Amino acid sequence: MSALLEVTHLSRRFGGVHAVSDLSFSVDEGEILGVIGPNGAGKSTLFNLINGVVPPDAGRIVFDGVDITGEPPYAVARRGIARAHQIMQPLLGLTVLENCMVGACFGRENMSLADARAAAREVAQSVGLGDRVDTLAGALTTAGKKRLEMARALSARPRLLLLDEVLAGLNPTEIAHMIETIRGIRRSGITILMIEHVMRAIMSLSDRIVVLNLGRKLAEGRPREIAENPDVIKAYLGDSKLLAAVEAAP
C-alpha cells in the first residue's frame, strides 16, 4: 500500500489559537482513516486545510505524489478530493439531481452535462435518494440532506473522500444505514478520511485512527490500540466506553 495523502508538519493558527500544530500523518490508498478528538481539537480545520478552504501557515500536503499545499478548493476538488460537510451545505434552490450534477461536472472527471446527469442519477440511487432526484434540496429532511452531501461528493468520483461527521444528528436506524453506505464506498475503491464522534461507528469502520487534541496528534493506531491508550482515555475525560465501543463493534 502506498500513501495517497501525506500531511507533514502542518500548522495553522487563528489569532493566538493553534488550531492545528505540527501535524503529520498519511492515508494509505484504499483505507479508512478515522480522525477523533474532543471538540476544538482541530478536526474540521484539518479538513479545511486539506481541501484548500484555509491555507496552512506551515507544512505540506501531498496528494497522490503532487504537492497541493495552498491550492484553492476547486483545484483540489479537480484533483480528486471530495468532501461531505459537517454542517450540510446543499444548494437549496437546485434539485437533488442538479446538486449531484455539480459534483460530477466539476469533479475529477470533468464530465459533460449529459454524462454528469447519468452519473448523478446512479449515485443518488445508490445512497437511497433515487426517488427524490427532482426534489429541491431545501425540501429534504436532515437525514436526506446528509445523504445528499454524501451523494454530491461521490458524484465527483473522488479518489479521496473527506467525511466530516456524517453520522451526527441521525437516529440509530439512519446511522446503521449510513455505515453500510460508507462500507460500500470503500469497497468501490475510494479512500476515506473521516471525522466522527459516534465512537461505535468509527471504531468499527476505521482501519486506523488518528487522535487529535488541541491541534496536536495525541495518538495513532488501530482502533483497539487507541481505545486502550491511556493518553486518549485521559483526553476523553476517562470515557471508559471507548473500549466497550470497540468490543460492541461488529
- Quote the CA–CA distance of 240 and 250 in Å, as a whole number: 19
Shortest distance, CB of residue 22 to other proteins, whole angstroms?
Answer: 26
Among positions 18, 106, 207, 244, the unique one binding other proteins when judged by CB under 8 A: 106
- Quote the CA–CA distance of 146 and 79 in Å, as a whole number: 23
Residues 145-174 that bind other proteins (CB under 8 A): 152, 154, 156-157
Q: Does 66 bind other proteins (CB under 8 A)?
A: no
Residue 18 DSSP label:
E
Q: Which residues on adjacent β-strands are paired with residue 36?
A: 211
Q: Residue 230 or 250: which CB sits closer to other proteins?
A: 250
Q: Which residue has the cell 493558527?
A: 13
Q: Residue 200 or 217: which CB sits closer to other proteins?
A: 200
Residue 207 DSSP label:
S
Q: Does 39 bind other proteins (CB under 8 A)?
A: no
Question: Is the Cβ–Cβ distance between 93 and 143 less than 8 Å?
Answer: no
Q: Residue 185 or 219: which CB sits closer to other proteins?
A: 185
Among positions 55, 70, 72, 238, the unique one binding other proteins when judged by CB under 8 A: 72
Three-class SS state of 16:
coil
Handedness of CA 131, 137, 139, 143 (dihedral sign): positive
Q: Does 89 bind other proteins (CB under 8 A)?
A: yes
Residues 172-191 that bind other proteins (CB under 8 A): 177, 180-181, 183-185, 187-190
Interface residues toward other proteins, by CB under 8 A:
51, 53, 72-75, 77-78, 82-83, 85, 89-94, 98, 101-103, 105-107, 109, 111-116, 118-119, 122-123, 125-128, 152, 154, 156-157, 177, 180-181, 183-185, 187-190
